[in-house]
Amino acid sequence: MPRAKNKHRHEGRKGEAKDSASDDESVNENNSEWSAHSDNRSVQDEGEEITEDGVKSIDQFEESLGVLMDGLSQKSVAARVKCWTSLANALKSQAAASVVISHRLTLTDHLEKALKRPKPDEQAAAADVAALLAIQFVGTDMCEELCKDLKSVLQIVSLDKSANANARAKCCTALGLIAFMAEEDIGNIYEIMRNFESIFSGSYLKGDGSIKINVPPELESLHCAALSSWALLLTLCSPGDIYMMLGGSTSTFSPSLRQLNGMLASPGLEIRLAAGECLALVFELGREHSEEFGESILEKLIEDIRQLATDSHKYRAKKDRKTQRATFRDILRYLEEDEVEEILLRVHGEQVRIEGWCARRRYSAFAGTLGAGLHSYLATCSVLRAALGLPPPPVAVDTRTAGTRSSNKLMRHLQNAAAFKARTITRGKNRDKRSAVVVS
């Protein structure tokens, strides 16, 4: 009998857990993809620090880094992948460029070897570390050297049709971030963008205007990664160049606005969302040069986006429909009314604003790589903040006045406590008088 009671008790707890999980999902379903993406990374409390393997200080970080680097030479593929994953988590946790720079040559050598090995899991894990290293070195000459060392091998893997699709997608993301931070030659940037376009062109409409319905899900993720990286590099182009490449009716630049518009009909949700945000970004940059940018296709584009913003097809998942409608409502509002909703983020007590589609694309790229660790980087890295269009980081606290500030904080706390106690006493007296009147 006792066992039966315990069994029912556990089943009740499981039911409560399922109900709470379903409630959380229903709350998040009304968010657009971008807002949900940012919310998951902005819930970090002030002063909270993410650590991996107990990394809390520079000395401990360097010690853990040495252990992980030794593990990258193991014969077991699974062991190497585990080391790459742990190294990525450690690099996400804190910015320690002074430590990582001293091991740059060794890390670069391990990265090149891992990317050249035909092991999909190892290639994907190494590509994540490559992007994180570039972020660690951002603003230094080491970032440019890392770009020169890894650009060619990342391009080879991303364009290799025989390689694993997930590994290719990771390489596209890493290559886009590295080129965004370190590449200065606009000609090289255009070349990388053309390589990306050759990948996501697999999601274009057919020559007769029909939809390609036989694209595997793993290729959809690859095309989405290539398109997102292409859009990230597009933010480096001047509005005049974008107008010349995409704004003219006789433009031969690829992809054209019509090809991007055709991707909105893709059966994959990720492709539709990425294409819609990319089109909003293109129009934002093009309109900076001329308000008449894209007039030849604007009417057709607004019609297609309005259909996606009001989509109610039952063959699509309910959560996908809500995410799609929320995202394309924002895009439709921008195209019709030229309004972009500002995104407010809290970084260690500081409120920062993400304004415009360019800033959104850049923030999404860094947040997708760093995760919640982006808050630690934004608190100290001025170059990264400048890339996102944010003001310089606040001045660090002077240790000589730290005691005075803490004492002032204590005084404010005591004053607030005294005021709270006084309000409580007064409120209690009023309640006593009110009750006496009622009794009488």
How many Å apart are CA 205 and CA 211, to the nearest integer?
5
Q: What's the pLDDT score for residue 272?
A: 92
Indicate whether 430 belongs to any domain. Answer: yes
Q: What is the mean pLDDT of residues 326-349?
A: 85
Answer whether residue 371 shows pLDDT above 80: yes
3-state SS string for 87-106: HHHHHHHCCCHHHHHCCHHH
Q: How many domains does the chain have?
A: 1
Whether residue 255 is preceded by a cis peptide bond, meaning omega within 30 degrees of 0, is yes
Provide the residue type at 438 as one letter: V
Q: Please give the pLDDT value at position 225.
A: 95
- pLDDT beyond 50 at 72: yes
> Residue 134: is its pLDDT beyond 60?
yes
Considering the domain boundaries, does residue 412 fall inside one? yes
Question: Higher model confidence: residue 277 or residue 99?
Answer: 277
Q: Report, as an integer, the average pLDDT of 376-395.
A: 75
Could you tell me what percent of the chain has a pLDDT over 70?
Answer: 76
Lowest mean pLDDT, pick from 87-101, 258-272, 337-351: 337-351
Kindly indicate the confidence band of residue 52, based on its pLDDT and cuts at 50, 70 and 90.
very low
Q: Would you say residue 423 lies in a domain?
A: yes
Q: What is the mean pLDDT of residues 370-382?
A: 80
The mean pLDDT of 296-306, rounded to a whole number, is 91
Mean pLDDT of the chain: 78
More confident residue, 194 or 428: 194
Q: Are 361 and 232 in contact (CB under 8 A)?
A: yes
Report pLDDT for 32. Answer: 56
Most confident of 34-43, 54-63, 290-299: 290-299
Q: Give the dihedral sign, CA 71/77/78/83.
A: positive
Count Cβ atoms below 10 Å from residue 357 Cβ, excluding itself. Answer: 24
Measured between alpha carbons, how far apart are the two ends of the chain, in Å?
57
Evaluate if residue 19 carries a pLDDT over 60: no
Is residue 436, in this structure, part of any structural domain at all?
yes
Cα separation of 315 and 271, whole Å?
Answer: 17
Q: Read off the pLDDT of each residue in 118-131 and give the average, rounded to a whole number.
A: 94
Q: What is the mean pLDDT of residues 38-53?
A: 37
Q: What pLDDT is attached to residue 328?
A: 92
Average pLDDT rounded to a whole number, residues 411-424: 70
Q: What are phi and psi of 232, to 5 degrees?
A: -65, -45
- Assess whether pLDDT exceeds 70 at residue 172: yes
- What is the predicted pLDDT for the residue at 110? 92
Higher-confidence position of 147 and 408? 147
SS in 3 state form for the chain?
A: CHHHHHHHHHHHHHHHHHHHHHHHHHHHCCCCHHHHHHHCCCCCCCCCCCCCCCCCCHHHHHHHHHHHHHHCCCCCHHHHHHHHHHHHHHHHHCCCHHHHHCCHHHHHHHHHHHHHCCCHHHHHHHHHHHHHHHHHCCCCHHHHHHHHHHHHHHHHHHHCCCCCHHHHHHHHHHHHHHHHHHCCCHHHHHHHHHHHHHHHHHHCCCCCCCCCCCCCHHHHHHHHHHHHHHHHHHCCCCHHHHHHHHHCCCCCCCCCHHHHHHHHHCCCHHHHHHHHHHHHHHHHHHHHHCCCCCHHHHHHHHHHHHHHHCCCCCCCCHHHHHHHHHHHHHHHHHHHHCCCCCEEEEECCEEEEECHHHHHHHHHHHHHHHHHHHHHHHCCCHHHHHHCCCCCCCCCCCCCCHHHHHHHHHHHHHHHHHHHHHHHHHHHHHHHHHHHHHHC
Rounded average pLDDT over 154-174: 95
Q: Looking at the domain assignment, is residue 438 inside a domain?
A: yes
Q: Which amino acid is at 231?
A: A
Comparing CA positions, the residue from 202, 326, 301 lying closest to residue 255 is 202
**Do the Cβ atoms of 34 and 327 come closer than 8 Å?**
yes
Q: Output the pLDDT for position 86.
A: 92
Q: Token pair of 395, please?
A: 């001045």
Q: Tell me, what's the pLDDT at 11?
A: 46
Q: Is residue 65 very low, low, confident or very high in pLDDT (cuts 50, 70, 90)? A: confident
Position with higher pLDDT, 232 vs 210:
232
Q: With 0-12 CB in 10 A as exposed, 13-18 as middle and 19+ as buried, what is 131? A: buried
The Cα–Cα gap between 372 and 108 comes to 25
Provide the percentage of residues in the chain whose pLDDT is more than 90: 32
Residue 16 has pLDDT above 60, yes or no: no
Q: What global pTM score does this model have? A: 0.76
Residues 6+ apart with CB under 8 A from 116: 153
And the tokens for 321?
């429909």
Q: Which pLDDT band holds residue 234 (cuts at 50, 70, 90)?
A: very high
Residue 112, domain member (yes or no): no
pLDDT digits (tens, 9 = 90+) for 201-211: 988 888 777 78
Domain of residue 420, residue span = 403-440
Per-residue CA distances from 254 to 131, 247, 250, 258, 289 (Å): 27, 12, 12, 10, 20
- pLDDT for residue 394: 65
Domain assignment present for residue 428? The answer is: yes
CB 83 within 8 A of CB 48: no
Lowest mean pLDDT among 228-232, 236-240, 369-373, 398-402: 398-402
Contact call for residues 174 and 131 (beta carbons, < 8 A): yes
User: Residue 43's pLDDT is what?
Assistant: 32
Please tell me the least confidently modeled range out of 25-34, 74-83, 322-331: 25-34
In a domain? residue 234:
no
Band (344; pLDDT cuts 50, 70, 90) = confident
pLDDT at position 139 is 75
Q: Which phi and psi (to 5°) does residue 352 adopt?
A: -125, 150
